[in-house]
Amino acid sequence: MSPMFVPGPVDVAEDVLQAQARPILPHRSPEFEAIFHRAEQKARQLFYTQYRVFITASSGTGLQEAAVRNLAREKVLACVNGAFGKRWAEVAETNGKQVTRLEIEWGQPVTPDVVAQALKQDHYEIITVVHNETSVGLENPIKEIAAAVREVSPDTLICVDAVSSLGGAKLEMDAWGLDMVLTSSQKCLALPPGLALGAVSDRAMARAEQVPHRGWYFDFLRLEKHRLKDSTPATPAVSLVYALDYQLDRILAEGLENRFARHAAMAQRVHEWALSRGLTLFAAEGYRSKTVTAIRNTHGLDVNEINAFLLERDMRIANGYGPLKGKTFRIAHMGELQMSDIDTLLAAMDEFLAKKGLR
Ligand SMILES: *Cc1c(COP(=O)(O)O)cnc(C)c1O
Protein backbone atom coordinates (compact mmCIF):
# COMPACT_ATOMS: atom_id res chain seq x y z
CA MET A 1 0.00 0.00 0.00
CA SER A 2 1.32 3.44 -0.89
CA PRO A 3 0.19 5.83 1.79
CA MET A 4 -1.71 8.92 0.73
CA PHE A 5 -1.39 11.88 3.06
CA VAL A 6 -4.40 13.58 1.53
CA PRO A 7 -7.60 14.55 3.34
CA GLY A 8 -9.84 12.12 1.49
CA PRO A 9 -10.33 9.85 -0.16
CA VAL A 10 -7.85 8.04 2.06
CA ASP A 11 -6.28 4.61 1.86
CA VAL A 12 -8.55 1.71 2.74
CA ALA A 13 -7.21 -1.38 4.47
CA GLU A 14 -7.10 -4.50 2.30
CA ASP A 15 -9.53 -6.48 4.46
CA VAL A 16 -11.99 -3.58 4.47
CA LEU A 17 -11.85 -3.53 0.66
CA GLN A 18 -12.39 -7.29 0.68
CA ALA A 19 -15.45 -6.95 2.92
CA GLN A 20 -17.19 -5.37 -0.10
CA ALA A 21 -16.62 -8.46 -2.20
CA ARG A 22 -19.30 -10.56 -0.49
CA PRO A 23 -22.20 -11.53 -2.70
CA ILE A 24 -24.88 -8.87 -3.02
CA LEU A 25 -27.94 -9.37 -0.83
CA PRO A 26 -31.34 -7.94 -1.70
CA HIS A 27 -31.78 -4.96 0.60
CA ARG A 28 -35.21 -6.05 1.75
CA SER A 29 -33.92 -9.38 3.02
CA PRO A 30 -33.59 -10.29 6.72
CA GLU A 31 -29.86 -10.99 6.13
CA PHE A 32 -29.16 -7.48 4.84
CA GLU A 33 -31.45 -5.86 7.41
CA ALA A 34 -29.43 -7.51 10.19
CA ILE A 35 -26.20 -6.03 8.80
CA PHE A 36 -27.77 -2.60 8.33
CA HIS A 37 -29.16 -2.72 11.87
CA ARG A 38 -25.84 -3.50 13.52
CA ALA A 39 -23.95 -0.97 11.40
CA GLU A 40 -26.39 1.76 12.51
CA GLN A 41 -26.13 0.74 16.16
CA LYS A 42 -22.33 0.79 16.06
CA ALA A 43 -22.28 4.08 14.15
CA ARG A 44 -24.07 5.79 17.05
CA GLN A 45 -20.99 5.18 19.18
CA LEU A 46 -18.90 7.22 16.74
CA PHE A 47 -21.22 10.19 17.12
CA TYR A 48 -21.67 9.70 20.87
CA THR A 49 -25.41 9.71 20.33
CA GLN A 50 -28.36 7.70 21.53
CA TYR A 51 -30.63 9.07 18.79
CA ARG A 52 -30.30 7.72 15.26
CA VAL A 53 -27.87 7.59 12.34
CA PHE A 54 -29.07 7.76 8.75
CA ILE A 55 -26.78 5.94 6.34
CA THR A 56 -27.20 7.32 2.83
CA ALA A 57 -25.82 6.45 -0.59
CA SER A 58 -24.23 9.84 -1.22
CA SER A 59 -21.17 11.76 -0.25
CA GLY A 60 -21.21 14.09 2.76
CA THR A 61 -22.38 17.09 0.74
CA GLY A 62 -25.69 15.27 0.22
CA LEU A 63 -26.30 15.51 3.94
CA GLN A 64 -25.32 19.20 4.01
CA GLU A 65 -28.25 19.56 1.63
CA ALA A 66 -30.45 17.32 3.79
CA ALA A 67 -29.75 19.50 6.84
CA VAL A 68 -30.96 22.72 5.26
CA ARG A 69 -33.94 21.14 3.49
CA ASN A 70 -35.23 19.30 6.55
CA LEU A 71 -34.51 21.70 9.35
CA ALA A 72 -35.02 25.25 8.05
CA ARG A 73 -38.07 26.78 6.43
CA GLU A 74 -36.14 29.98 5.76
CA LYS A 75 -33.48 31.32 8.02
CA VAL A 76 -30.02 29.86 8.18
CA LEU A 77 -26.94 31.26 9.90
CA ALA A 78 -23.93 29.81 8.05
CA CYS A 79 -20.49 30.07 9.68
CA VAL A 80 -17.82 30.44 7.00
CA ASN A 81 -14.12 30.22 7.84
CA GLY A 82 -13.07 27.92 5.05
CA ALA A 83 -14.15 26.26 1.82
CA PHE A 84 -16.54 23.72 3.33
CA GLY A 85 -18.40 26.22 5.49
CA LYS A 86 -18.73 28.29 2.33
CA ARG A 87 -20.04 25.29 0.42
CA TRP A 88 -22.72 24.71 3.08
CA ALA A 89 -23.82 28.36 2.77
CA GLU A 90 -24.10 27.89 -1.02
CA VAL A 91 -26.01 24.65 -0.57
CA ALA A 92 -28.53 26.52 1.61
CA GLU A 93 -28.76 29.45 -0.81
CA THR A 94 -29.28 27.21 -3.84
CA ASN A 95 -32.06 25.45 -1.96
CA GLY A 96 -33.83 28.79 -1.66
CA LYS A 97 -33.09 29.45 2.01
CA GLN A 98 -32.49 32.92 3.40
CA VAL A 99 -28.86 32.68 4.43
CA THR A 100 -26.79 35.01 6.56
CA ARG A 101 -23.10 34.27 6.27
CA LEU A 102 -21.02 34.74 9.37
CA GLU A 103 -17.70 35.33 7.65
CA ILE A 104 -14.50 34.84 9.59
CA GLU A 105 -11.00 35.21 8.28
CA TRP A 106 -9.73 31.86 7.00
CA GLY A 107 -7.26 30.40 9.47
CA GLN A 108 -9.12 31.91 12.42
CA PRO A 109 -11.76 30.00 14.42
CA VAL A 110 -15.47 30.63 14.66
CA THR A 111 -15.80 31.77 18.28
CA PRO A 112 -18.76 31.44 20.65
CA ASP A 113 -18.77 35.23 21.08
CA VAL A 114 -19.19 36.03 17.39
CA VAL A 115 -21.94 33.44 17.12
CA ALA A 116 -23.73 34.79 20.20
CA GLN A 117 -23.63 38.31 18.76
CA ALA A 118 -25.11 37.19 15.47
CA LEU A 119 -27.89 35.34 17.28
CA LYS A 120 -28.72 38.40 19.34
CA GLN A 121 -29.20 40.45 16.17
CA ASP A 122 -31.62 38.11 14.45
CA HIS A 123 -33.40 34.80 14.90
CA TYR A 124 -32.30 31.73 12.93
CA GLU A 125 -33.87 28.29 12.63
CA ILE A 126 -30.52 26.59 12.20
CA ILE A 127 -26.84 27.35 12.42
CA THR A 128 -24.38 25.47 10.20
CA VAL A 129 -20.76 25.10 11.25
CA VAL A 130 -17.86 22.87 10.24
CA HIS A 131 -16.02 21.01 12.98
CA ASN A 132 -12.78 20.43 11.13
CA GLU A 133 -12.23 22.88 8.25
CA THR A 134 -10.20 20.68 5.94
CA SER A 135 -9.33 23.57 3.64
CA VAL A 136 -7.42 25.44 6.34
CA GLY A 137 -6.48 22.66 8.79
CA LEU A 138 -8.50 24.18 11.59
CA GLU A 139 -10.77 22.76 14.28
CA ASN A 140 -13.63 25.02 15.36
CA PRO A 141 -14.57 24.91 19.08
CA ILE A 142 -17.93 23.22 18.54
CA LYS A 143 -18.65 22.45 22.18
CA GLU A 144 -18.28 26.10 23.17
CA ILE A 145 -20.16 27.35 20.10
CA ALA A 146 -23.04 24.97 20.86
CA ALA A 147 -23.19 26.14 24.47
CA ALA A 148 -23.43 29.76 23.27
CA VAL A 149 -26.22 28.90 20.81
CA ARG A 150 -28.17 27.03 23.48
CA GLU A 151 -27.91 30.00 25.79
CA VAL A 152 -28.73 32.84 23.41
CA SER A 153 -31.18 31.12 21.07
CA PRO A 154 -32.30 27.80 22.55
CA ASP A 155 -34.56 26.80 19.64
CA THR A 156 -31.89 27.28 16.94
CA LEU A 157 -30.85 23.83 15.76
CA ILE A 158 -27.11 23.19 15.66
CA CYS A 159 -25.88 21.42 12.52
CA VAL A 160 -22.27 20.30 12.33
CA ASP A 161 -20.19 19.06 9.41
CA ALA A 162 -17.76 16.55 10.88
CA VAL A 163 -16.76 15.11 7.51
CA SER A 164 -13.01 15.21 8.12
CA SER A 165 -13.05 14.63 11.88
CA LEU A 166 -15.60 12.04 12.90
CA GLY A 167 -13.69 8.99 14.04
CA GLY A 168 -10.45 10.99 14.18
CA ALA A 169 -11.14 13.75 16.69
CA LYS A 170 -13.68 13.64 19.47
CA LEU A 171 -17.09 15.17 18.97
CA GLU A 172 -19.85 14.29 21.44
CA MET A 173 -23.20 14.95 19.85
CA ASP A 174 -25.55 14.42 22.78
CA ALA A 175 -23.36 15.80 25.56
CA TRP A 176 -22.68 18.94 23.53
CA GLY A 177 -26.33 19.37 22.52
CA LEU A 178 -25.87 19.07 18.75
CA ASP A 179 -28.91 18.43 16.55
CA MET A 180 -27.35 17.09 13.40
CA VAL A 181 -23.84 15.83 12.73
CA LEU A 182 -22.81 14.55 9.33
CA THR A 183 -19.81 12.75 7.91
CA SER A 184 -18.53 10.95 4.81
CA SER A 185 -17.07 7.47 4.51
CA GLN A 186 -13.81 8.42 2.75
CA LYS A 187 -12.04 10.47 5.41
CA CYS A 188 -11.33 9.47 9.04
CA LEU A 189 -13.48 6.35 8.71
CA ALA A 190 -11.09 5.07 6.04
CA LEU A 191 -13.77 3.55 3.84
CA PRO A 192 -14.20 3.89 0.09
CA PRO A 193 -16.14 7.00 -1.01
CA GLY A 194 -19.88 6.72 -1.49
CA LEU A 195 -21.57 6.66 1.90
CA ALA A 196 -22.61 9.49 4.18
CA LEU A 197 -23.68 9.16 7.80
CA GLY A 198 -25.90 11.68 9.52
CA ALA A 199 -26.93 11.61 13.17
CA VAL A 200 -30.12 13.52 13.95
CA SER A 201 -31.61 14.46 17.34
CA ASP A 202 -35.27 14.01 18.35
CA ARG A 203 -35.63 17.78 18.48
CA ALA A 204 -34.48 18.00 14.87
CA MET A 205 -36.88 15.23 13.82
CA ALA A 206 -39.74 17.21 15.40
CA ARG A 207 -38.64 20.30 13.46
CA ALA A 208 -38.58 18.39 10.18
CA GLU A 209 -42.31 17.68 10.61
CA GLN A 210 -42.93 21.44 10.42
CA VAL A 211 -40.80 22.06 7.31
CA PRO A 212 -42.43 21.78 3.88
CA HIS A 213 -40.63 20.69 0.68
CA ARG A 214 -38.06 18.51 2.35
CA GLY A 215 -37.66 16.70 -0.92
CA TRP A 216 -37.82 12.91 -1.25
CA TYR A 217 -34.38 11.27 -1.24
CA PHE A 218 -33.08 12.89 1.95
CA ASP A 219 -36.41 13.42 3.74
CA PHE A 220 -35.65 12.65 7.39
CA LEU A 221 -39.20 11.44 8.09
CA ARG A 222 -39.05 9.00 5.20
CA LEU A 223 -35.54 7.88 6.14
CA GLU A 224 -36.69 7.35 9.73
CA LYS A 225 -39.73 5.29 8.74
CA HIS A 226 -37.42 2.93 6.85
CA ARG A 227 -34.61 3.00 9.40
CA LEU A 228 -37.06 1.66 11.97
CA LYS A 229 -37.35 -1.37 9.67
CA ASP A 230 -33.55 -1.50 9.23
CA SER A 231 -33.74 -0.27 5.69
CA THR A 232 -33.69 2.76 3.41
CA PRO A 233 -36.36 4.29 1.12
CA ALA A 234 -34.28 3.62 -2.02
CA THR A 235 -31.60 1.02 -2.74
CA PRO A 236 -28.69 1.37 -0.33
CA ALA A 237 -25.03 1.00 -1.36
CA VAL A 238 -25.09 -2.64 -0.26
CA SER A 239 -21.37 -3.42 -0.68
CA LEU A 240 -20.34 -0.23 1.10
CA VAL A 241 -22.62 -1.11 4.00
CA TYR A 242 -20.75 -4.44 4.31
CA ALA A 243 -17.50 -2.48 4.48
CA LEU A 244 -18.96 -0.03 7.01
CA ASP A 245 -20.15 -2.85 9.25
CA TYR A 246 -16.70 -4.46 9.10
CA GLN A 247 -14.73 -1.22 9.52
CA LEU A 248 -16.80 -0.12 12.52
CA ASP A 249 -15.71 -3.35 14.25
CA ARG A 250 -12.08 -2.50 13.51
CA ILE A 251 -12.51 1.10 14.72
CA LEU A 252 -14.23 0.06 17.95
CA ALA A 253 -11.59 -2.63 18.51
CA GLU A 254 -8.86 0.00 18.29
CA GLY A 255 -10.93 2.02 20.77
CA LEU A 256 -12.21 5.51 20.00
CA GLU A 257 -10.00 7.18 22.61
CA ASN A 258 -6.93 5.36 21.26
CA ARG A 259 -7.88 6.39 17.77
CA PHE A 260 -8.21 10.05 18.76
CA ALA A 261 -4.86 9.87 20.56
CA ARG A 262 -3.20 8.36 17.47
CA HIS A 263 -4.52 11.19 15.29
CA ALA A 264 -3.50 13.88 17.81
CA ALA A 265 0.02 12.44 18.12
CA MET A 266 0.48 12.37 14.33
CA ALA A 267 -0.78 15.98 14.14
CA GLN A 268 1.69 17.08 16.75
CA ARG A 269 4.58 15.37 14.94
CA VAL A 270 3.70 17.13 11.68
CA HIS A 271 3.26 20.52 13.41
CA GLU A 272 6.63 20.24 15.13
CA TRP A 273 8.30 19.15 11.92
CA ALA A 274 6.91 22.13 9.97
CA LEU A 275 7.81 24.70 12.61
CA SER A 276 11.32 23.30 13.02
CA ARG A 277 11.87 23.57 9.24
CA GLY A 278 11.07 27.30 9.14
CA LEU A 279 7.55 26.75 7.86
CA THR A 280 4.47 28.19 9.54
CA LEU A 281 1.02 26.73 10.08
CA PHE A 282 -2.03 28.28 8.48
CA ALA A 283 -4.48 27.74 11.34
CA ALA A 284 -4.34 29.82 14.51
CA GLU A 285 -2.58 28.25 17.45
CA GLY A 286 -4.93 26.43 19.80
CA TYR A 287 -7.28 25.55 16.93
CA ARG A 288 -5.10 23.34 14.78
CA SER A 289 -6.70 20.28 13.26
CA LYS A 290 -5.85 16.84 14.53
CA THR A 291 -6.54 15.20 11.19
CA VAL A 292 -4.97 17.49 8.57
CA THR A 293 -2.26 20.16 8.75
CA ALA A 294 -2.23 23.14 6.41
CA ILE A 295 1.29 24.52 6.06
CA ARG A 296 2.08 27.93 4.63
CA ASN A 297 4.35 27.54 1.65
CA THR A 298 6.90 29.89 3.22
CA HIS A 299 9.77 28.65 1.04
CA GLY A 300 7.78 29.07 -2.18
CA LEU A 301 8.07 25.40 -3.09
CA ASP A 302 6.38 23.96 -6.17
CA VAL A 303 3.78 21.64 -4.66
CA ASN A 304 3.51 19.61 -7.86
CA GLU A 305 7.24 19.07 -7.74
CA ILE A 306 7.02 17.91 -4.11
CA ASN A 307 4.36 15.43 -5.14
CA ALA A 308 6.34 14.18 -8.15
CA PHE A 309 9.23 13.55 -5.74
CA LEU A 310 6.96 11.84 -3.21
CA LEU A 311 5.21 9.74 -5.85
CA GLU A 312 8.54 8.17 -6.77
CA ARG A 313 8.49 6.99 -3.17
CA ASP A 314 4.83 5.90 -3.37
CA MET A 315 3.45 8.76 -1.31
CA ARG A 316 1.49 11.93 -1.93
CA ILE A 317 0.34 15.04 -0.07
CA ALA A 318 -2.35 17.59 -0.94
CA ASN A 319 -2.03 21.03 -2.43
CA GLY A 320 -3.80 23.96 -0.77
CA TYR A 321 -7.55 24.06 -1.32
CA GLY A 322 -9.11 26.50 -3.79
CA PRO A 323 -7.71 30.00 -3.25
CA LEU A 324 -4.94 28.56 -1.06
CA LYS A 325 -3.51 26.39 -3.84
CA GLY A 326 0.24 26.97 -4.06
CA LYS A 327 0.10 29.24 -1.02
CA THR A 328 -0.27 26.29 1.33
CA PHE A 329 0.10 22.54 1.14
CA ARG A 330 -1.62 20.01 3.34
CA ILE A 331 -0.47 16.87 5.06
CA ALA A 332 -3.34 14.68 6.20
CA HIS A 333 -2.87 12.33 9.13
CA MET A 334 -6.13 10.47 9.24
CA GLY A 335 -7.70 7.07 8.83
CA GLU A 336 -5.36 4.10 8.76
CA LEU A 337 -2.12 6.11 8.90
CA GLN A 338 0.32 5.32 11.68
CA MET A 339 3.20 7.32 13.18
CA SER A 340 5.68 5.23 11.21
CA ASP A 341 4.02 6.41 7.98
CA ILE A 342 4.34 10.02 9.14
CA ASP A 343 8.02 9.48 9.92
CA THR A 344 8.61 8.02 6.47
CA LEU A 345 6.87 10.97 4.83
CA LEU A 346 8.69 13.61 6.86
CA ALA A 347 12.05 11.98 6.10
CA ALA A 348 11.22 12.21 2.39
CA MET A 349 10.13 15.83 2.82
CA ASP A 350 13.48 16.55 4.46
CA GLU A 351 15.24 14.93 1.53
CA PHE A 352 13.27 17.19 -0.79
CA LEU A 353 14.16 20.30 1.24
CA ALA A 354 17.83 19.25 1.20
CA LYS A 355 17.67 18.91 -2.56
CA LYS A 356 16.44 22.51 -2.68
CA GLY A 357 19.25 23.65 -0.41
CA LEU A 358 16.85 24.32 2.44
CA ARG A 359 18.33 21.82 4.89
C1 LIG B 1 -14.44 16.51 2.17
C2 LIG B 1 -15.30 17.45 2.93
C3 LIG B 1 -16.61 17.73 2.53
C4 LIG B 1 -17.18 17.20 1.27
O5 LIG B 1 -17.50 15.87 1.46
P6 LIG B 1 -17.96 14.96 0.24
O7 LIG B 1 -18.04 13.62 0.90
O8 LIG B 1 -16.90 15.07 -0.80
O9 LIG B 1 -19.28 15.45 -0.21
C10 LIG B 1 -17.39 18.53 3.34
N11 LIG B 1 -16.90 19.06 4.47
C12 LIG B 1 -15.64 18.84 4.87
C13 LIG B 1 -15.17 19.45 6.15
C14 LIG B 1 -14.81 18.02 4.12
O15 LIG B 1 -13.55 17.79 4.52
Distance CA 190, CA 183 (A): 12
Ligand 1, atom 5, residue with closest C-alpha: 60
Residue range of the domain that includes 297: 4-8+255-355
What distance in angstroms lies between residue 134's CA and the mean position of ligand 1's atoms? 8
**Domain identity same for 209 and 222:** yes
**Domain identity same for 23 and 109:** yes
Q: How confident is the model at residue 11 (pLDDT cuts 50, 70, 90)?
A: very high
**Domain identity same for 229 and 283:** no
What distance in angstroms lies between residue 184's CA and the mean position of ligand 1's atoms? 7
pLDDT of residue 241: 98
CATH of the domain at 120: 3.40.640.10
Distance CA 41, CA 248 (A): 10
Q: Which residues neighbour 144 within 8 Å (Cβ) at sequence distance 6 or greater?
A: 111, 112
- pLDDT tens for residues 280-313? 999 999 999 999 999 999 999 999 999 999 999 9
Provide, rounded to the nearest whole percent, the portion of the chain with pLDDT above 90.
99
What distance in angstroms lies between residue 235's CA and the mean position of ligand 1's atoms? 23
**Domain identity same for 155 and 292:** no
Ligand 1 atom nearest to CA at 62: 9
Span 220-234, average pLDDT: 97
- pLDDT tens for residues 79-89? 999 999 999 99
**Domain identity same for 247 and 271:** no
**Domain identity same for 89 and 43:** yes
Q: Is the per-residue pLDDT at 143 higher than 90?
A: yes
Span 251-277, average pLDDT: 98
Ligand 1 atom nearest to CA at 8: 1
Span 102-108, average pLDDT: 98
Q: How confident is the model at residue 188 (pLDDT cuts 50, 70, 90)?
A: very high
**Domain identity same for 137 and 216:** yes
**Domain identity same for 90 and 187:** yes
Ligand 1 atom nearest to CA at 7: 15
Are 2 and 204 contacting, i.e. CB atoms less than 8 angstroms apart? no
What distance in angstroms lies between residue 198's CA and the mean position of ligand 1's atoms? 13
**Domain identity same for 30 and 79:** yes
What distance in angstroms lies between residue 138's CA and the mean position of ligand 1's atoms? 14
Domain end point (choices 253, 268, 295): 253
CATH of the domain at 310: 3.90.1150.10
Are 104 and 79 contacting, i.e. CB atoms less than 8 angstroms apart? yes
Span 29-54, average pLDDT: 98
Span 170-184, average pLDDT: 98
Q: Is the per-residue pLDDT at 205 higher than 70?
A: yes
List, chain by chain if needed, residues with CB within 6 Å of any ligand 1 atom: 7-8, 59-61, 84, 130, 132, 134, 161, 163-164, 184
pTM score of the predicted model: 0.98
Ligand 1 atom nearest to CA at 193: 7
Q: Which residues neighbour 354 within 8 Å (Cβ) at sequence distance 6 or greater?
A: none
Q: How confident is the model at residue 2 (pLDDT cuts 50, 70, 90)?
A: low
Element (H, E) at 109: none
Q: What is the mean pLDDT of the chain?
A: 97
**Domain identity same for 243 and 108:** yes
Domain end point (choices 195, 219, 253): 253
What distance in angstroms lies between residue 313's CA and the mean position of ligand 1's atoms? 27
Which of 68, 110, 187, 324 to mutate for ligand 1's pocket (most ligand atoms within 8 Å of CB)? 187
162 three-class SS: coil
**Domain identity same for 149 and 274:** no
Domain end point (choices 213, 235, 253): 253
Span 1-21, average pLDDT: 93
Number of domains in the chain: 2
Q: Which residues pair with 294 in a beta bridge?
A: 330
**Domain identity same for 194 and 334:** no
Q: How confident is the model at residue 1 (pLDDT cuts 50, 70, 90)?
A: low
- pLDDT tens for residues 145-168? 999 999 999 999 999 999 999 999
Distance CA 27, CA 37 (A): 12
How many other CB atoms are there within 10 angstroms of residue 1's CB atom? Answer: 10
